[in-house]
A and B are shown apart, each in its own frame.
Chain A
Amino acid sequence: MYADFDLVIPETLDEALEALAGAVGGGNGGTQPLAGGTNMIVDLRARRVAPSRLVGLGRLDGLRGIRIADGRVRMGARTTMSDILRHPDLAGHAPSLVDQARVFGGQMVRNAATVAGNICSGSPAADAVPALLALDAEVTLASPSGTRVVPLSEFFLGYKRDARAPGELMTEIAWDIPPAHSSNRFYKLALRKGDAITVVGVAVALAAEDGKCGTARIALGAVAPIVKRATAAEAMLCGQALTPELIDAAARQAVDDVDPIDDIRASAEYRRHCVHALTRRLVTQAWERLT
C-alpha cells in the first residue's frame, strides 16, 4: 500500500477545528478527520479515497467518554465500541447500543472504531446508527464559528451524504435516558456471527403508557441508501395495545418503508423478508418486556 498525505495531530479541539476549516467532507485531495481509522485505512489501501491531509484526533481526550447525568447520556465523538461495552451503566439504559457494540466488527476494530466515525462513514450498514436513531440521539457539530445540534434523524441526506458543512467536526452524541417503562433492542443479521458486514440491522425502542405503546421507534440498517426509520410502521404502533396481528402488520409496513438492493451478501428480496421477520420479532420482544 502506498498513499501520500500529510498528517496533522492537533493537541486541542480548537486546533483541530482550525486544521479542518474549509475541508471538503468525503472528497478526494482534501482534508479529512481521522479517528479510529478502521474505515479510513481500509479505504486508503483500496484507493477509494486519496486525501491530501488527515487530521488525527487521537490526542483529543476530551472527545472520548460517556457521561450520564441529569437524565441525559452524553457520549464523546471518539468513544469507541469497546468503551461502550465497558461502561457499567449503559446496558441498563441502552441495551440496543451495547448489543450492537458486541457484534461490531472484530475485537481489534471494536477497540479502535469510534461512534462518530461509524456515523460519519455514511455506510447504510453502520451498526451504531440504528440503535442511536431509535434512541432519538442528537449530534453536535463544531466548527471555528460555533457549534450546532442536529437530530441524528436529520443528519443523513443520502448515500454517503450528511449534514456536516465543510470543515464541521462531530464532537458529541447525546440522548435522553429512556423513560422507566421502555425497552430497546437491536439485532444484526449477517452471514457469520463474528466480524461481518450487516445484511439487515434492526433497532426497536418502545415506551409504554397505560398499557399502550406510547412511542415507537424502528430503525433499519443496510436496507436503504441510509440507515432510516420506518416511520409509517412506527405510527401504526403508537397509541395502541400491541397484538401479534398489529405487530405483524407494522412489520409488513416496515418493508414498505425501505428500499434494499441486491449485492453479493444478499438479495433485496431476502432483505425485505428479514426486515419483516426481525421487526416483528424485536417489537414483540420489546413489548413483552413492557407487559
Chain B
Amino acid sequence: MTGAPQDWTRAPNVNLRQVGKPLVRTDVPGKAQGRTRFAGDHVMPNMLHAKVLRAPKASARLTRLDAAKARALEGVVCVLTAADLADRRAATDIPGQTGRKRLATDQQILVRERVRYHGEPLALIAAETLALAERAADLIEYDLEPLPGVFDPVEALKPGAPIVQGTDNVVATYKVRKGDLEAGFAEAERVVENTFRTQFVEHAFLEPEVGLAWVDENEVINIRVSTQVIEHFRAIADALGVAHNQVRILGSMVGGGFGGKEDVTVEIYLALLAQATGRPVRLAYTREDSFFGHGKRHPFVITHRTGVTQDGRITAVQITMTADAGAYVFLSPYVLLYAVVAGPGPYRIDNVHIDARAVATNNMYTSAFRGFGAAQACVAHEQQMDEIAKELGLDRLELRRRNFLRTGDEIATGYAIESAVWSDDCMTKAWAALGERAPEDGPVKIGRGVATYQQSYGRITWLHDTSEAWVGVEIDATVVVRSGVTDIGAGQVSALAQIAAELLGVSLGEVTVYNSDSATTPLAGTTTATRALYMTGNAVHLAAEALRGRLIGRAAEEFGVAPSEVDLAESRAFVIDAPDKSMALKDLVGICASEGIHRSELAMFRAPFTGEIDPETGQGRVHPDYAFGAHAVEVAVDTETGEVTVLKSVGAHDVGQAINPAAVAGQIEGGAAQGQGYALSEAMIYRDGELMTPSFSEYLIPTAMDMPRVQSIILESRSGLGPFGAKGIGEPALTPVAPAIANAVADAIGRRVFELPITPERIVMALREAEPRKGPR
C-alpha cells in the first residue's frame, strides 16, 4: 500500500495504436445486420418445448399437486414436480473458485410444500409444441392453502413475525466500527439525519432468459443459454448429482444482463428435462416469465446521521441499512457488503459506524443488479450530502470537495486507496458541461443535481478471483483468443480483441475471439462485478505479452538488434529507430512455426487475494480497487403536475484507460437511461408479495422520448489495475445517476422526496406538505 498521495500523470504511459481508439466493436456488424445468433436462435431436430408452472400466491402451503391430466395429454412428454426430484436442491451462492464451502443457501428447485414467493416454480413441462406445453400447464391441478406471510423487512424483524425459513428472518448482517464515533460527533457542530428509501427494480434486459439443453453421446449435459456466468456448470452438476465435467455451458452473445443473468435461471430446468426425456429441450421465457424468473434489485432503507463542522468537514457518520432480501438468500449477503463498503460515499471520514442487515420476506427474492448495493448506498449518501450542504448554507460541490477521498486515504472498511481518485475532476467537468441553465416558465422550475460515488471493480478479494485466456498466432499472422468470458452486450469480447491486436501489432479485424464455452475455452470467471475487462483483459494482456516477447525476440535475432529495439505494428515487425529494417509478421510467424517456437500462450491473471474482513469492525480489504466519477443532470419540474423532464445528463468518469472510448460512452449512455428509470419511473410493486406490475405497460423504463442526449466525459488516470491502467465503467456508469436526478428535483422544487421512484404524485404531495393551502381542496 502507498501511504502518500501520488502525482498521477495524464500523459499516455504507452504508445497505443489500437487501444484507446473508438473502433467499431467486433460485435457490431453482426448485430446491426441481424446475423448474430443469440441463445434463442438455436434449435435442434427432435426438440421439445418447455414451460414452467408458477405459484400464483406469495405465501402458501402446497397441499395437493396432481399432474395426471397434463401427463395424459397427447404430445406432453414429461412433467416434473418436486416428487420427481428426490432430495435435489440448488445452490444460489456465487460460484467460488477456492473450493471453500459456500454459504448455506441451497433451496428447493420446485415447491415441495411451502410456497415462499409469488411465482415460485411448481412444475416443469416438456411437450412437442409450446402450445401443448401451455395447455398442459393449465391441466395441472393444485391446492394452495394461504399462509401468513411477511412483506416488509422491518416488520419481518419484529417478534412474532412469520418466519420465511429457518429460525429467523435475518439473512445477513455487516457492521463497520472505524475510529471513535462519539468523539466524531462531539467534534461536530451540526448533526444531520435523514432516511432514504429505494424500491424493487427489474433488469429489463432486451432478451428474456432462454436456453437449449441436450445430453450428448458421452452423457454430458450441454446447455446453450443466455447467461453472464458459464461457471454455473458446477452448481448445476451438483444440483443434478452428476460430476462437474458432465455439464457443459455454451454461452451465446447475451442480449443484456445487468446482473439479472448472474444467477442460474433456466439452466437447471432445462438440464432436468433433457435428462428425463433424453431429447433436446428448449425453454424460452416470455417477458412475464422473466419478471417472475430472476431476482430483483434490493429495496433499501438507509438512515444517515452525519456530524459536520460549520465549514463542512464531516467528522462522523452513523449509517443503518435494511435491505429486503425476499424469499431466498441468493446474493443478498454480498450486495449488503457492497452497500456497507460504499456506505459513506467517496469521502474521507475518520469515524464511521455502520449497521446493515438483509432481511427475508415473502417478496420476490433479490440479488445482483448493476451497482450491487453500492448504487443503493449512493442514492442515500449523495442525497445526504445535498441535505448537509443545505443545512450549512454551503455550495453542494464545495461540500463534496472538502471531504473527497484522496489517494492513500482509508475508506470505511479501512483499506487505503492506491489508485487515482479523480472525483473532483469528474464532478467539476460534469457540472461545467451542463452549460447555460434553461429558463423557468411559469409553474415549470429548473433544477440541477450532481452525484459522485465509490464503486468497486473486481470481485471480493477473499473469493480469490482468477481469470484465464489463451492467445495464439496463426501461421498467416491472424490472431485467435480463447476465453470463457461471456459478452453481455458491453463489448467484452471486442475489448479482448483490441488488447490482443495492440500487443501483437495487428488490426482488430485480424483477431478472432472464441468465448463462453465451459468445456473448450479457458475459464475466465463471471461477467459481473465490473470485472470482465479488469480480469480477463489482464489475462489476455499476460498471454499476448508472452507471445509478443517470443515474436520480438526472434525478430531481434533476425535484425541483429536487441529485443527492446523491436516493435510490432500493422502486421509487421520492425526496428523502432530504423523502420526500414522490417519484416511481415506472417514471415516472422512462419519462422517461429518452422522452428517450433510456441505460438500460443495460456495465461492466468490473479486478483489480489486476502482473508475476510474483521467481523466485529468490518476492517480489511474487500475489493481490488475502486472507480470514481460523477453524474450531473438538469431537470425541469412541472410543479402543478409533478412531471419531471430530464433536460441534460452528463456522466464524467475516470475509467483509468478507455480500451474503446465508443464502448465506454455506450456504457455511460446506458447507465444514464437505466439510472433515470430508477430515479423517476421504475418500480416493481408487490402487494402482499404479489407482483402488480408484470408487464412493460406497468413497469416503465425510459423511452427515447424520455431521454435527453447523454454526454459522456471520459477521464483517464491510467492508475487502475486493469490492462493499460484501466479501471471499469459497467457499474459506475449507473451508480450516481439516480441520486443526481433526486438532487436536481430537490433543487428545482425546494423539497425532497425521500423515496424512489420520484413519481409526479410524490412530488405533488411533497409540495403540498410544504404549502398546505395549495391544491384543489
Contact = CB atoms under 8 A, between A and B. Distances in A.
Interface of A: 1-2, 42, 106, 189, 191-197, 199, 252, 255, 264-267, 270, 272-278, 281
Contacts of A42: 697
Contacts of B760: 189, 191, 199, 266, 270
Per CB-CB distance, the 9 closest pairs between chain A and chain B, nearest first, are A194-B703, A194-B705, A277-B640, A2-B131, A276-B776, A270-B761, A193-B705, A193-B706, A192-B700
B641 A266 contact: no
Given A194-B705, A272-B776, A267 B693 contact: no
Contact of B700 (A1, A196, A281): A196
Interface in B684-736: 685, 692-693, 697-698, 700, 702-706
25 contacts: A1-B286, A2-B134, A42-B697, A189-B641, A189-B643, A191-B681, A191-B700, A191-B759, A191-B760, A192-B681, A192-B702, A192-B706, A193-B705, A194-B705, A252-B776, A264-B685, A264-B693, A266-B761, A267-B761, A270-B761, A270-B764, A272-B776, A274-B641, A277-B776, A281-B640
A194 B765 CA distance: 24
Contacts of B99: none
Nearest to B761: A270
B704 A194 contact: yes
B776 A273 contact: yes
Contacts of A252: 776
Contacts of B706: 192-194
B135 interface: yes
Contacts of A270: 642, 760-761, 764-765
Nearest to A187: B641
B775 interface: yes
Nearest to A270: B761
Contacts of A278: 640-641
Contacts, number: 68
A197 B697 contact: yes
B641 A277 contact: yes
Contact of A264 (B130, B134, B135, B692): B692
A175 to B, nearest CB: 28
Contacts of A277: 640-641, 776
A148 to B, nearest CB: 34
Contact of B703 (A192, A197, A266): A192
A197 B698 CA distance: 8
Interface of B, helix, strand, loop or mixed by DSSP? loop
A106 to B, nearest CB: 7
Interface centre among A42, A265, A270 (most CB of B within 10 A): A270
A267 B764 CA distance: 12
Nearest to B703: A194
Contacts of B135: 2
A100 B530 CA distance: 43
B698 to A, nearest CB: 6
B709 to A, nearest CB: 15
Contacts of A191: 681, 700, 759-760
A273 B775 contact: yes
Contacts of B697: 42, 196-197
A199 B642 CA distance: 12
Nearest to B768: A273
A42 B706 CA distance: 24
A264 B700 contact: no
B703 A106 contact: yes
Given A189-B641, A274-B640, 10 more contacts: A192-B702, A192-B705, A193-B705, A196-B697, A264-B698, A270-B760, A270-B764, A275-B776, A278-B640, A278-B641
A106 B700 CA distance: 13
Instruction: With a 10 A CB-CB cut-off, give which of B681, B685, B761 has the most chain A CB atoms.
Output: B761
A253 to B, nearest CB: 11
A92 B431 CA distance: 42
A264 B693 CA distance: 8
Interface in B619-678: 640-643, 645
Contacts of B643: 189
A250 to B, nearest CB: 12
B369 to A, nearest CB: 20
B693 A255 contact: no
Interface in B760-777: 760-761, 764-765, 775-777
Contacts of A274: 640-641, 764
A273 B764 CA distance: 9
B491 to A, nearest CB: 27
A265 B704 CA distance: 21
Interface in B274-312: 286
A243 B703 CA distance: 38
Contacts of A266: 759-761
A262 to B, nearest CB: 11
Contacts of B765: 270
A9 B775 CA distance: 53
Contacts of B693: 264
A211 B500 CA distance: 77
A194 B645 CA distance: 12
Nearest to A105: B697
A281 B775 CA distance: 14
Contacts of B692: 264
Nearest to A3: B131
A85 to B, nearest CB: 14
Contacts of B777: 272
Contacts of A195: 703, 705
With a 10 A CB-CB cut-off, give which of B641, B692, B775 has the most chain A CB atoms.
Answer: B641
Nearest to B287: A45
B694 to A, nearest CB: 9
Nearest to B130: A2
Contacts of B759: 191, 266
Contacts of B702: 192
A127 B705 CA distance: 18
A257 B685 CA distance: 30
A192 B702 CA distance: 7
Nearest to B698: A264
Of B645, B698, B760, chain A has the most CB atoms within 10 Å of the CB of B760
Nearest to B776: A276
Contacts of A273: 764, 775-776
B774 to A, nearest CB: 10
Contacts of A267: 761
A104 B703 CA distance: 13
Contacts of B698: 264-265
Interface string B403-428: 00000000000000000000000000
